Each structure stands twice: as structure tokens, then as C-alpha cells.
Structure 1
């Protein structure tokens, strides 16, 4: 049982990093400007004007690096520690900690402002931006390691998902999206049929005594499922875009479907790829994508430390 769980967790980490890396060259392009689906790959077809032309294909972005920061913090502390995690985020932003090449080539506006506040002395409980317009997907994109590694009840997972998100994105809507994604991933880890629907129902119940979060869930987050996903950086659309991509039946097709939505392609593919990695495992990821993932030694070192945790010993 431990071995099976570990394989799913490792699949999730591989899945989010590979999905992120596949999506990077296509970021900022609307769907109409992308190659046909059969040509979307880690290496775009000749002639495609890829984003970050100076960044080699196969490189994960800020999404993957921040998710690794969270993973490392959870392994190191064996518990949620917002101060430890915040220090790792600052190390990433300042010196490329856990970036594939030790270089930061992308950072969201809201995340950058929150990290500047942290650097100036704000606590993790004070640094996040909480306005209506501060609902980008920067807190969501890195949240999967909580579902993979945080032990305890669903209520604990939801509370920590809120805290993790709020370090940069403190609006309740962003917190709800993080909580729902983490519960969805936990249900996938558990092998539950209808994992999304189960997570949604469970989150509604958990929000019984949290009217602000319940209102955001019922009136904003869930109704958006009726709209066509656009792969944008808006946190609610990012979540539903990932869910739509996960309707595919293989890891490759999930990631390609995520990228094909256009716009914030690396984040959509990171979110969807993490779920698909849990479902299909590391071996379900195309071998050529795994082999061409840059910075694999960083992931390998993280996984060595993960396997030594008492949970898997």
C-alpha cells in the first residue's frame, strides 16, 4: 500500500513538472495561434514563435519551481510551516533556488509584489494581496504538494490550502480554488470514482461554518463550470480549464488538451498534468518528455528525500 501511494505521489510531482515544461513555449498565445493539436509537443514545430525563446525546451517555469519549494518545505519540516515555505519562495525569486537552471525567467505580478512585501519584513499572514482583482492563479499553481504530502483531515488540508494560497493571493476566491484542487487531488490519490464531484460536495460541507468561502464556492467557483474554459490566468478559469483537460484518457492527451486552450498554457498544463500524473503514474508520461525534462537531477534529489520520510519507510 505504501509503495502504491508513493508511486502516485511521485507521478503527481513528475506530472506537474512535465506538464509545466510542455506548456512553457506556448504561453501567452491564444488558442487560434497554436499549432494543430497533433503538433503540440515539448518541442514545438519548426516556425512556431515560442515564448521565452531564450529558455531551452523542457524547462519548468515558476509554477514548477514554487511547487518544488512547497514540496521541499513539507519534507524538511514534516508539517506545514508558512515561514519556512516563504523563505524558500524568496530563495527561488532571489537566486533561482529549485529553478531548472538556477534562473528565474517568469514571475507573476501579484506574486512578485507579495514577495517584495515578505522581503521587506511582512509575515506570511500579511504579505498576500486580497483585492477582487487579485485572483490570478499563482497560489493555485503550486498547491498540489499539499494534497500529496500533508497528513491529517480534510479540514486540515483545506485550512492549509487557504494559508498557502494567501501568502501571495489572499482573496477568498483564490483560497477556495486551492482548497478544491487539493481535495480533488486527494480524492484522486485515494482512487475515488468521480473525484471532482466528491471533492466539491465535501468542500461544501466543510464550509458550513465559513459563509464567505461557501458563498465564493457556490456563487462564483462552481457556476463557472458551465462556461467554456479559456486557459487564462484567472484562478477560477485555470481550475476549470485543468478539469476540462483531465477528461482525456492519457497523460499525453491531458497535457495537449490543456495547452490547446492557449493563454496561460504552462499553468493549465501544470495543474492538469499533476492530476494526470497521479492517475497514470510516472510511466504513463511519454518517455521522451521525461527524458527531455531539464533539471531532472533536482527532482531526483527531492524524491530521494521524500522516500526517506517515515510515511514511506
Structure 2
């Protein structure tokens, strides 16, 4: 794939994964599997898919990359304002760490990030890895700038750097084939000096060498009931879902849904990586067609990819006021899903 195809696959793969995982958000693994009876499909709103903060934040990263043209200080400033305005749209399901971080941004407090090891930074990191696949210094500085706006915990930063590193290695061709388990674990845990993050290396290597990597990881980390948004759980799981389903987008997403927990974020991260291997055409057509979100729909994602790949291409990079109209509809759908969960299957 050329750069345009890679960027488009990364953006769309993450968004489709987000939309497929969203209806299962927060469900225990057993109940998620019962809800997903039959073929996996979008079911958030009248058989169609909407996206959550995972895709919104990735869009903001893309807009900041376009505005900054490689200047990390401008990137940080633009992304910070996107997050501020996004909070005013009253998004549903915002993580506590991200909420506190953006409130500190509005108050002008520094550092704005809070001591949280959530997966917020990781969910917006794949695009940075894809965009700077051949520039490790720019990749690390942009990931750090994005992460520290909301999360200062080194475990959150480590998770974001790992997602970006995986995306970069796929994009530059090193991991177009499934990597060796030992190499895979060593590269990903080597992105950070954090002791807890590095302690995952033997766990990842052993899981990757098994017949069912995601199942083995969940057993090792005690995640049989679901995979939460904790960076030391969510990010390794998403990476292993990509590893186990390597080249098969549908299988990768099915693994994320079946595991329960923070399904939309796990599916968004794994989906972005999976699409970098299989391309846009590897995403089942019915899933692409049923993603009918606005203003961050499939058409806009394609325009963003084109502008990132070619500076001559034009694309709107302002914060979309349409999010102020979309948020009430999204919240209403979330509430309907919450009521539906009071009923079987349990």
C-alpha cells in the first residue's frame, strides 16, 4: 500500500472497529458473546454504526497533524483546542482521566494531564505511527505530546507508544507478515522504561507462542470477565488481537467483541492495525457501508487521509460544529442501549 492507502486504512479500520464494538461497551465477556449471536454487525442505531470518542480523537489528531506540518508545539496546541471544544459538545462515555485532563486544559493548568493509566492516549496513537512510520523521533515526540495533554502516567504513555510502534512497523513493511513472538514482545515492551510495562514482555511472548494468544493473555492477566480500559490490559490485548487475527479483519474484531469490557476502544485500536495489513478492501463491505456517522463519517475520513498523504489536497481541519448536533442523538442512543441491557440475554 502507498501512504494514502495506509492512512485511509488506518482511519477507516479504527472507525469501523469502534462502531462494531460500541454496542458491546462495558459488557462482561460472557454476555457480550450472547449479544453477538449470529454474524457480527453494526447495531448501535437502527442497524447502523456510529463512532465514539476513539474515532473523534483520532480525527482531532489528523487535523492537528495537518495544521502543524511537523511542528510538535503547534500539533500540541491544535489538539488541545480540539479536545476543549469537544468537551463542550457534551460527549457521552468520556473517560474520567480524559475529562479531568480537558478540564485542566480549560483552566490553563500545567501540566494538564492527570495521573491516570487509562487507554485514552493509546486510542489516538495508531495514526501517528502510520504517518511517521519512517521517523521514530517524530513518532515518539508526537505520541508524547498527544498523551501528556490528558494522561501523565508513564503506563498510559507506554501503551500509546506501543500502538504507534506497531502501526509504524506494519506501515513500513517490517510486520506485513506476523512477527516472531519474541521479537514482537521485545519491540513493544522496549518502547518504555516503565517496570510494569516491561514486565509484560514474557507474558506477551508466551501468549503469542500459544495456539490462542488472546485467550492465553486473558488467563495470564485475569481478564476472563472482560478487558478494561487500563493501559496495561487494554493495549496488550488489542495488540494480541491483531497478532492472532493477522490479516483477517473480521476475525480480529470478533476476538475483541468476544472478550467484553472496553470493547469499542479495544476494537478501534486492533481494527486500525488490522486494516494496515489487509487494506480497506479487507474490511467487509457491509461494515463499511453501514458506518453512517456524521460529521466524522467515511467520506471525511477519506478526505483526511488524502490531505495527510498529499499537502496539495484540501480538507476542512476546523473543529466541526456538527458535533454539537450529533452529541444529543448519540447520548439518546446510549441511553436506549442502557435500558435494553436490563433485558435478556443475561
Measured against the shorter chain, the TM-score band is 0.7 to 0.9
The separation in 1 between residues aligned to 2:254 and 2:287, in whole angstroms, is: 12
Report what 2:273 is aligned to: 275
Q: Displacement, 1:205?
A: 6.2
For residue 218 of structure 1, what is the aligned residue in structure 2? 198
Q: 1:8 aligns with which of 6, 9, 24?
A: 6
Is 1:59 paired with 2:60? no
2:2 is paired with a residue of what secondary structure? helix
1:195 to 1:180, Cα distance in 2 relative to 1, 3 A: farther
CA shift for structure 1 position 189:
0.7
**TM-score, normalisation: structure 2:** 0.74
Question: 2:316 maps to what in 1?
Answer: none
> What whole-Å deviation, never above 9, does each CA across 1:210-255 have from its counterpart, x for those lacking one?
xxx2434323x43553542542111111111112211114111111
Residue 111 (str. 1) matches residue 111 (str. 2) = no
SS of the equivalent of 1:24 reads: helix
Q: How far apart are 1:10 and its partner, in Å?
A: 1.2
Corresponding residue for residue 172 of structure 1: 154
For 1:310 and 1:180, locate their aligned partners in 2 and report how far apart those are by CA, in whole Å.
31
Give the aligned length. 283
The verdict on how the C-alpha distance between 1:281 and 1:4 changes in structure 2, with shifts beyond 3 A counting, is: same
Q: 3-state SS of the aligned residue for 2:152?
A: coil
Choose the corresponding residue for 2:299, options 293, 297, 304: 297
What's the CA shift for 1:142? 1.1
Report if the CA contact (8 A) 2:162-2:189 is conserved.
no
Q: Is the 8 A contact 1:177 1:235 kept in 2?
A: yes
User: What SS does the aligned partner of 2:120 have?
Assistant: coil
Deviation track 1:177-197 (CA, whole Å, cap 9, x = no partner) reads 111111111001112141885
Mark the CA change 1:239 to 1:196 in structure 2 (over 3 Å): closer, same or farther. farther
Question: What SS class does the counterpart of residue 127 from structure 1 fall into?
Answer: coil
The alignment partner of 2:162 has SS state of: helix
SS of residue paired to 1:258: helix
Give, in whole Å, the separation in 1 of the partners of 2:259 and 2:271.
14
The CA distance in 1 between the partners of 2:107 and 2:263, in whole Å, is 32
Q: Quick check: 1:10–1:303 contact (8 Å CA) kept in 2? A: yes
Deviation at 1:271, TM superposition (A): 0.6
Inter-partner Cα distance in structure 2 for 1:164 and 1:38: 37
Instruction: Return the offset for 1:153.
Output: 3.1
Q: Mark the CA change 1:151 to 1:250 in structure 2 (over 3 Å): closer, same or farther.
A: closer
User: Is it true that 1:239 corresponds to 2:235 in the alignment?
Assistant: yes
- 1:154 and 2:151 are equivalent in the alignment: no
Change (3 A) 1:15 1:172: same
Name which of 73, 76, 80 aligns with 1:82.
76
Partners of 2:8 and 2:305 within 8 A in 1: yes
Q: Structure 2: how far apart are the matches of 1:155 and 1:30?
A: 39
RMSD between aligned residues: 2.6
Q: Does 1:190 align with 2:177?
A: no
Output aligned runs, 1:92-103, within 5 Å: 92-95=86-89
Query: Deviation of residue 298 (structure 1)?
Result: 2.7
Question: TM-score w.r.t. structure 1 length?
Answer: 0.81
Asked if the contact 1:187–1:195 (Cα under 8 Å) also holds between the matched residues in 2, the reply is no
